[in-house]
A and B are shown apart, each in its own frame.
Chain A
């Protein structure tokens, strides 16, 4: 019997699955403090100041110091909070963000010490649907956090974030249908293989734009950072959170930025492939993916430094009245082109 979530091509021995699971998780996980630090440094440059430069060489240990401080704080919870859900909610957020790491492909199937190994966590036939299933979990992470805090501001913030999340998930899903039609597969490795001649950001240009915008909204990032409207709803769903639980939410947000960067380069920028027909040996592939992802993360930070935040009603009407119809149109045109050409 093939295991559930059966792979399309092969099943590795169990020890290899554990090893590669650990390795990929640790690689992507370590992007979180790097992103955090890089963001503060780069934002500093954008704003004509230094950014953190006290802890460690060049200030690069600041993130570790911050995390240490947060974990050392008292695990406070409000008196009227729904205790169980209050504790559970940040964990759900992290689970949802970390689960997506499993399907990011770092390379094709390669030979490691005589074992055929796919350089990805799992290669599911449902591919992208897996991402959206985890998006559902991340919704509960936000929503339960806001509701369980028993605080009006938390609850309103959670409603905002959750509404934003599901609105832009619709547009994101429609934008990806174009990619799926072009690649004729949902599996992420096959989508990367399908980009051999031309990366999909050329035929699926609008799909890419919509996907990236929706990605900003999903990770609650800067132009869509409504949940943290300090003047209106304090800190959004995280108002009552502090210490380690706040660190969890924070980590989930940055992990989501990292994961969306990886997904973007996988879906639109050729994954592990290099342009101009350069075909390096397979051990280079993961480095290509990581390098591209770093560019994407920089782009995220760049946008945050550049664009002002939207108003909430603008945000919603932009998602539903502009992005979603555009994405639908993109799907339609792609389908017609694929069938006729």
Chain B
């Protein structure tokens, strides 16, 4: 039974991986990758690693690939297929990298993988792969790596928000507050300066609105793009 499922999921995984690189339509490529990830989760399940299997589905298929699907859905139409650039330099580099990867895999497999062929794997201990077990390991043995990863993720999240704001991706005027605004030299051209509602550093007559506060947030027109 488990052999049957192993070969089933393994074949789907390999087919999915091949599909990612061979399919011309980027949307189908992404879907193929999703198939591959689900099959990998199945392989983890066969190894009794329930938590890893479901985390795989939730994180990769449910979050990372969702992002890919969004991007490809918006950007790549079904008639815009991937056209590989067939320059000689790219081909050469591709061969070099593929050769290096092949060599590395050969070394890894010959060095260690083949030794395990005739042996039995480590015995199954009840509780192995359960969330409790993994949580304990994460908070004792691998505490440093765990915390480092969480700090990294936090930094990345904050960075994403900052970048989105700087590019004007977030149009909420009330929240448009970042130090980059104050660092821009006066008079470098916004619509607000052009129409005279903002002092461009030259001696302009006072704006018609009485006592308009000298703050960007107040004077920018709704949804105004910053340069």
Do chains A and B interact in one complex?
Answer: yes
Interface residues of A (CB under 8 A from B): 1-6, 82, 85, 124-126, 129-130, 132-133, 135-137, 139-140, 143-144, 147, 150, 155, 159, 162-163, 166, 169, 186
**Chain A residue at minimal CB-CB distance from B59:** A136
Question: Could you tell me the distance between the alpha carbons of A139 and B31 in the complex, rounded to whole angstroms?
Answer: 12
Question: Could you tell me the distance between the alpha carbons of A69 and B159 in the complex, rounded to whole angstroms?
Answer: 53
Q: Which residues of B contact A133 (CB under 8 A)?
A: 41, 54, 57-58, 61-62
**Chain B residue at minimal CB-CB distance from A169:** B62
Q: Which residues of B contact A140 (CB under 8 A)?
A: 31, 34, 69
Q: Which residues of B contact A143 (CB under 8 A)?
A: 66, 69, 73
Question: Could you tell me the distance between the alpha carbons of A164 and B62 in the complex, rounded to whole angstroms?
Answer: 13
Question: Could you tell me the distance between the alpha carbons of A68 and B141 in the complex, rounded to whole angstroms?
Answer: 59
Q: Which residues of A contact B132 (CB under 8 A)?
A: 125
Q: Which residues of A contact B5 (CB under 8 A)?
A: 4
Q: A129-B55, A132-B62, A163-B70 provided; 13 other pairs, C-beta below 8 A?
A: A4-B5, A6-B50, A85-B31, A125-B132, A126-B130, A126-B131, A129-B131, A132-B54, A135-B62, A136-B58, A136-B63, A140-B31, A144-B31
Q: A132-B62, A147-B73, A150-B78 are in contact. Are A1 and B54 (CB under 8 A)?
A: no
> Is A1 a contact partner of B131 (Cβ separation < 8 A)?
no
Q: Which residues of A contact B54 (CB under 8 A)?
A: 126, 129-130, 132-133
**Chain A residue at minimal CB-CB distance from B171:** A313
Q: Give the contacts of B97-142 with A (CB-CB under 8 A).
A: 124, 130-132
Question: Could you tell me the distance between the alpha carbons of A147 and B75 in the complex, rounded to whole angstroms?
Answer: 12
Indicate which residue in B34, B50, B63 contacts A125 across the interface (CB closer than 8 Å): B50
Interface size range of chain B in the complex: 20 to 34
> Is B70 a contact partner of A129 (Cβ separation < 8 A)?
no
**Chain B residue at minimal CB-CB distance from A163:** B70
Question: Could you tell me the distance between the alpha carbons of A331 and B132 in the complex, rounded to whole angstroms?
Answer: 18
Minimum Cβ distance to chain B for residue A10 (Å): 13
Answer whether residue B46 sits at the interface, using C-beta atoms and an 8 A cutoff: yes
Minimum Cβ distance to chain B for residue A159 (Å): 7
> Is B58 a contact partner of A5 (Cβ separation < 8 A)?
no
Q: Which residues of B contact A150 (CB under 8 A)?
A: 78
> Is A125 a contact partner of B131 (Cβ separation < 8 A)?
yes
Q: Which residues of A contact B61 (CB under 8 A)?
A: 133, 136-137
Question: Could you tell me the distance between the alpha carbons of A125 and B63 in the complex, rounded to whole angstroms?
Answer: 22
Question: Which of B48, B54, B55, B63 has the most chain A CB within a 10 Å cutoff?
Answer: B54
Question: Could you tell me the distance between the alpha carbons of A129 and B2 in the complex, rounded to whole angstroms?
Answer: 23
> Is A6 a contact partner of B58 (Cβ separation < 8 A)?
no
Q: A143-B69, A159-B70 are in contact. Are A166 and B50 (CB under 8 A)?
A: no
Q: A129-B51, A133-B57, A135-B62 are in contact. Are A4 and B73 (CB under 8 A)?
A: no
Question: Could you tell me the distance between the alpha carbons of A94 and B211 in the complex, rounded to whole angstroms?
Answer: 60
Q: A132-B58, A147-B27 are in contact. Are A126 and B50 (CB under 8 A)?
A: yes
Minimum Cβ distance to chain A for residue B128 (Å): 10
Answer whether residue B192 sits at the interface, using C-beta atoms and an 8 A cutoff: no
> Is A139 a contact partner of B62 (Cβ separation < 8 A)?
yes
> Is A162 a contact partner of B70 (Cβ separation < 8 A)?
yes
Question: Could you tell me the distance between the alpha carbons of A6 and B31 in the complex, rounded to whole angstroms?
Answer: 29
> Is A186 a contact partner of B131 (Cβ separation < 8 A)?
yes
Indicate which residue in A4, A5, A126, A166 contacts B63 across the interface (CB closer than 8 Å): A166
Q: A135-B62, A147-B73, A162-B66 are in contact. Are A124 and B57 (CB under 8 A)?
A: no
Question: Could you tell me the distance between the alpha carbons of A162 and B62 in the complex, rounded to whole angstroms?
Answer: 11
| 22 pairs of residues in contact across A and B, judged by CB atoms under 8 Å | A2-B124, A3-B1, A4-B48, A5-B50, A124-B50, A125-B51, A126-B51, A126-B131, A129-B55, A130-B54, A132-B54, A132-B58, A132-B62, A133-B54, A133-B58, A136-B61, A140-B34, A144-B31, A162-B66, A162-B70, A166-B62, A166-B63
Q: Which residues of A contact B130 (CB under 8 A)?
A: 125-126
Question: Could you tell me the distance between the alpha carbons of A139 and B58 in the complex, rounded to whole angstroms?
Answer: 11
Answer whether residue B17 sits at the interface, using C-beta atoms and an 8 A cutoff: no
**Chain B residue at minimal CB-CB distance from A147:** B73
Q: Which residues of B contact A132 (CB under 8 A)?
A: 54, 58, 62
Question: Could you tell me the distance between the alpha carbons of A169 and B131 in the complex, rounded to whole angstroms?
Answer: 20
**Chain B residue at minimal CB-CB distance from A170:** B63
**Chain B residue at minimal CB-CB distance from A173:** B58
Question: Could you tell me the distance between the alpha carbons of A186 and B132 in the complex, rounded to whole angstroms?
Answer: 9
**Chain A residue at minimal CB-CB distance from B37:** A136
Q: Which residues of A contact B200 (CB under 8 A)?
A: none
Question: Could you tell me the distance between the alpha carbons of A159 and B78 in the complex, rounded to whole angstroms?
Answer: 16
For B149-166 the 0/1 string (1 means CB < 8 A from A) is 000000000000000000
Question: Could you tell me the distance between the alpha carbons of A52 and B5 in the complex, rounded to whole angstroms?
Answer: 49
